[in-house]
Amino acid sequence: MTFSPSRAVAGALALAVLSLPLAGAVSPAEAKSYHYKNCTALQKDFTHGVGKKGAKDKVKGKGKPVTTFKKSTTIYKAAVKFNSRLDADKDGVACEKR
């Protein structure tokens, strides 16, 4: 058997392509559908709500803001895109609950 530079290059190229992450591939967490009918449904997955990274709960009166919500811009955007009523006060935190 003789060495063929073109076969070696083709083999190396094929290996390089196969080792690249697939474009559009998503992790299992991202693959989950974050479609919630209401806050009760969302709070089954995220007890204290979900918000964008850096968001602060808007509070009226003497109440303290919720800080224990899940911080994930990806999840927040997916949930609110499906149902905008989940963040009625538009503070970047959906379904916040103490």
Q: Is residue 57 part of a domain?
A: yes
Local structure of 81: helix, strand or coil? helix
Q: How many domains does the chain have?
A: 1
HEC letters along 2-40: CCCHHHHHHHHHHHHHHHCCCCCCCCHHHHCCCCCCCHH
Q: Which domain holds residue 85?
A: 27-94
Q: Is residue 10 part of a domain?
A: no
Q: What is the value of pTM for the model shown?
A: 0.67
Quote the pLDDT of residue 5. 60
> pLDDT by residue (tens digit) across 73-94?
999 999 999 999 999 999 999 9
Q: Is residue 85 part of a domain?
A: yes
